[in-house]
């Protein structure tokens, strides 16, 4: 038995070593076949002696248990996010803030690292062996994804060079899980071949994979990791640089491009260098992370809300690519506005293949002189819709001609309307199917009637099949239950769920309904104010323009548009039908309000746990006000994840910055 145990232990050691060489160092020393043979030998021995299996055995990467739910776990140290900078000046400002706060005359030492565009993870090791792994979640509480993370071959199950006398018994590492670009393209291609939905970019693909409940499926997908942070109460690390070196010694995969900078100028040079060199990498980065190197200084600097004062992200400019415009098409929106779209030769840019870009309106086409078959530069930043930056005129085909606006609607063929003093072109046929689809999509959307399960593609189908012609038909869909169940891709369960949410939507407040009607210039905010001031639909229908203009923030354009809307008998019929369906056309009694935030002005920045509108409602319901920019009159800046420059401005002006928890305490 002793002999077997020793044999197994030797095999494990060898396999761990080869794994490290292959996945962490990218320097295999044996062939794949030799490696597979070693693994097979270990598997056979463990099959014969299952009592000898240990958690850190290389055979235990892929567990067989399905995860039903990802358990919530509280992070021992909160997972902070970084504030973003976009220019050299903002980096200089950051450096100045650091120096001021530390009361330093000389330069600060920084570690600079590439900002990997993936999904962050926290992994805990106990006695050198992987214990748990969790997602970031809201920074305080994440979800446990241990089984999935263990399948990633570059994540050590067992730490290298672990010395039970000197190494920390318990420590946490943080890093970014990602997919290499090449692996992502291959993976998406195979999904496409199998008729599965493809992912938009490597980051989404990584996030989707980590949410899978079967670790066996995760193991088949090409995930990788770069680790950038080491935390432990038992370690006396002096610098971030030393932390990265220690992580490397422990066998973690650290991105090799980190550097030490002696001044902010060095940092700026590093950012510039990688902005151009990013194309040479086989994974996506979206910037550089700059960290004050000394941990003592980091502690002195502390953090504000959810971001440390000792680190900042420098985000790269939007990525550009050149491609050709195949044609220019015109799309009809819900208001009947016609938008030009450039149909492009598909190009891979910033993690996804782009085949269309919006051209906004006809004026934009004229201004940039964009023509069909032009070679153009396109740009995409973050998740933003791609746009055409400019035409490469030198390469223009001599026979090309300027684009002419259409004179009939591309969807219904009716004559288009060109209002004076406006850049937009409209289709004013109320029966235009594109408009019907667009307006019903808007009606059912989250900010409006919030009908879950009745999304864009179903609405398009239902309009084509004749089930929906106007809003009120939504409330008659239950009569077609049997027919709906027969539609491919639907079924009893999803139809019933949808019908339930349709029923539920009848109790949406009047303000949401008013917004859902899609009256021009009546956005979510305006609808709320009008509903609160006017109270019910009859009063609104008969209201004078001047009455509406007396409502704060409601201007002549909205008042005029509302008047016109209710003059139209077709719209009055729509309102009548919706009323008959039982929808709510009256404002509820004024909500209970408090004066806890009376005379306080808030500015919101970064990603908060709820949509901004909800937070704004909460502030207003408690007597406070929300404005968009920071001034000395701002009482508080409420900062969420990845806050922008508003936080800096607040610091400069001495405005207090708070996080969400503190805010909630204020109104409790």
Q: What is the contact surface with ligand IVH in residues (CB under 6 A)?
A: 80-82, 113, 115-116, 120, 176, 228-229, 289, 308, 311, 313, 642
Provide, rounded to whole angstroms, the least separation between the CB of residue 244 and ligand IVH. Answer: 9
Q: Which is nearer to ligand IVH, 120 or 148 (CB)?
A: 120
Provide, rounded to whole angstroms, the least separation between the CB of residue 82 and ligand IVH. Answer: 4
Q: Are the C-beta atoms of residues 276 and 48 closer than 8 Å to each other?
A: no
Q: Which is nearer to ligand IVH, 137 or 405 (CB)?
A: 137
Q: Which is nearer to ligand IVH, 30 or 237 (CB)?
A: 237
Q: Which is nearer to ligand IVH, 123 or 289 (CB)?
A: 289
Q: Which is nearer to ligand IVH, 331 or 642 (CB)?
A: 642
Q: Which is nearer to ligand IVH, 82 or 499 (CB)?
A: 82
Please give the Cα distance from 473 to 100 (Å, whole number): 64
**216: annotated active-site residue:** no
The alpha carbon dihedral of 40, 42, 48, 53 has a sign of negative
| Residue of 55, 101, 115, 306 marked catalytic | 115
Q: Which is nearer to ligand IVH, 70 or 226 (CB)?
A: 226
Angle of helix 32-48 relative to helix 2-19, nearest 10 degrees?
A: 150
Query: 331: buried, middle or exposed (CB in 10 Å: 19+, 13-18, 0-12)?
Result: middle
Grouping H, G, I as helix, E, B as strand and the rest as coil, residue 566 is: helix
Provide, rounded to whole angstroms, the least separation between the CB of residue 178 and ligand IVH. Answer: 9
Please give the Cα distance from 594 to 79 (Å, whole number): 33
Provide, rounded to whole angstroms, the least separation between the CB of residue 366 and ligand IVH. Answer: 40
* Chain centroid offset of residue 636 CA: 26
Name, in order, each residue with C-beta under 8 angstroms of 186's C-beta and a sequence gap of 6 or more.
222
Phi, psi of 429, rounded to the nearest 5 degrees: -80, 110
Please give the Cα distance from 229 to 124 (Å, whole number): 12
Report which of 58, 63, 22, 21 is spatially closest to residue 39, judged by C-alpha positions. 58
Q: Which is nearer to ligand IVH, 82 or 130 (CB)?
A: 82
> What is the Rg, in whole angstroms, of the alpha carbon atoms belonging to the chain?
29
Provide, rounded to whole angstroms, the least separation between the CB of residue 128 and ligand IVH. Answer: 24
Provide, rounded to whole angstroms, the least separation between the CB of residue 117 and ligand IVH. Answer: 7
Q: Which is nearer to ligand IVH, 229 or 467 (CB)?
A: 229
Tokens of 480: 């077609």
Provide, rounded to whole angstroms, the least separation between the CB of residue 320 and ligand IVH. Answer: 22
Please give the Cα distance from 499 to 507 (Å, whole number): 14
Nearest residue to ligand IVH, by Cβ distance, number only: 120
Provide, rounded to whole angstroms, the least separation between the CB of residue 173 and ligand IVH. Answer: 12
Q: How far is CA 153 from CA 187, 196, 221, 228, 249, in A?
A: 17, 26, 11, 17, 17
- Ranges of beta strands (E only) in 303-435 are 303-304, 307-308, 311-315, 319-332, 337-349, 352-358, 375-380, 387-391, 416-417, 425-427
Name, in order, each residue with C-beta under 8 angstroms of 360's C-beta and a sequence gap of 6 or more.
339, 340
Provide, rounded to whole angstroms, the least separation between the CB of residue 302 and ligand IVH. Answer: 12
Grouping H, G, I as helix, E, B as strand and the rest as coil, residue 16 is: helix
Report which of 416, 410, 408, 473 is spatially closest to residue 440, judged by C-alpha positions. 473
Please give the Cα distance from 519 to 533 (Å, whole number): 17
CB count in 10 Å sphere of residue 490: 15
Query: Hey, which residues are catalytic here?
Result: 115
């Amino acid at each position: 038995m002793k002999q077997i145990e020793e044999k197994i232990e030797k095999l494990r050691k060898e396999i761990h070593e080869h794994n490290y060489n292959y996945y962490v160092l990218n320097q295999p020393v044996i062939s794949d076949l030799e490696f597979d043979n070693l693994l097979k030998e270990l598997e056979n021995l463990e099959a014969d002696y299952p009592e000898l299996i240990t958690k850190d055995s290389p055979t235990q990467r892929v567990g067989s248990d399905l995860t039903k739910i990802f358990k919530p776990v509280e992070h021992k140290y909160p997972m902070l996010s970084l504030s973003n900078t976009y220019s050299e000046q903002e980096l200089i400002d950051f450096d100045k803030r650091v120096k001021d706060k530390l009361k330093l005359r000389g330069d600060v030492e920084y570690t600079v690292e590439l900002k990997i565009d993936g999904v962050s993870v926290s992994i805990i090791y106990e006695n050198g062996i992987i214990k748990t792994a969790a997602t970031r979640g809201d920074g305080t509480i994440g979800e446990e994804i241990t089984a999935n993370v263990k399948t990633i071959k570059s994540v050590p199950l067992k730490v290298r060079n672990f010395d039970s006398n000197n190494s920390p018994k318990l420590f946490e590492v943080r890093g970014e899980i990602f997919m290499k670009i090449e692996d992502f393209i291959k993976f998406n291609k195979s999904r496409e071949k199998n008729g599965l939905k493809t992912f938009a970019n490597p980051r989404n693909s990584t996030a989707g994979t980590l949410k899978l409940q079967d670790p066996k499926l995760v193991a088949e997908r090409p995930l990788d990791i770069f680790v950038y942070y080491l935390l432990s109460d038992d370690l006396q690390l002096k610098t971030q640089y030393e932390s990265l070196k220690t992580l490397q010694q422990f066998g973690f995969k650290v991105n090799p491009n980190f550097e030490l900078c002696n001044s902010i100028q060095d940092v700026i040079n590093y950012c510039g260098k990688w902005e151009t060199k990013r194309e040479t990498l086989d994974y996506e980065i979206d910037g550089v992370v700059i960290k004050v190197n000394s941990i003592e200084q980091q502690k002195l600097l502390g953090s504000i809300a959810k971001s440390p004062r000792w680190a900042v992200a420098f985000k790269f400019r939007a990525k550009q690519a050149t491609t050709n415009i195949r044609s220019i098409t015109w799309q009809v929106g819900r208001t009947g506005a016609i938008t030009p779209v450039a149909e492009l030769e598909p190009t891979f840019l910033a993690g996804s293949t782009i085949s269309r870009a919006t051209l906004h309106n006809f004026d934009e086409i004229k201004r940039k002189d964009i023509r069909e078959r032009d070679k153009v530069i396109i740009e995409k930043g973050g998740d933003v819709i791609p746009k055409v930056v400019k035409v490469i005129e030198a390469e223009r085909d001599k026979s090309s001609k300027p684009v002419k606006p259409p004179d009939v609607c591309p969807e219904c063929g009716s004559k288009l309307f060109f209002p004076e003093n406006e850049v937009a072109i409209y289709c004013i046929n109320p029966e235009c199917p594109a408009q019907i689809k667009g307006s019903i999509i808007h009606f059912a959307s989250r900010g409006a009637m919030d009908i879950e399960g009745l999304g864009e593609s179903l609405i398009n189908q239902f309009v084509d099949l004749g089930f929906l012609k106007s809003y009120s038909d939504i409330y008659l869909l239950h009569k077609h239950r049997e027919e709906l169940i027969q539609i491919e891709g639907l079924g009893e369960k999803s139809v019933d769920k949808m019908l339930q949410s349709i029923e539920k939507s009848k109790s949406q407040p009047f303000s949401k309904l008013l917004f859902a009607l899609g009256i021009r210039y009546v956005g979510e905010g305006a609808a709320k104010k009008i509903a609160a001031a006017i109270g019910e639909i009859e009063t609104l229908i008969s209201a004078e323009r001047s009455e509406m203009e007396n409502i704060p923030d409601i201007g002549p354009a909205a008042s005029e548009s509302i008047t016109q809307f209710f003059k139209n008998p077709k719209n009055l019929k729509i309102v009548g039908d919706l009323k008959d369906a039982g929808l709510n056309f009256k404002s509820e009694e004024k909500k209970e309000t408090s004066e806890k935030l009376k005379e306080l002005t808030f500015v919101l920045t970064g990603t908060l746990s709820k949509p901004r509108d909800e937070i704004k409602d909460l502030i207003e319901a408690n007597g406070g006000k929300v404005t968009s920019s920071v001034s000395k009159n701002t009482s508080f800046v409420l900062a969420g994840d990845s806050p922008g420059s508003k936080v800096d401005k607040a610091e400069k002006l001495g405005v207090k910055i708070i996080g969400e928890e503190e805010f909630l305490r204020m109104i409790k």
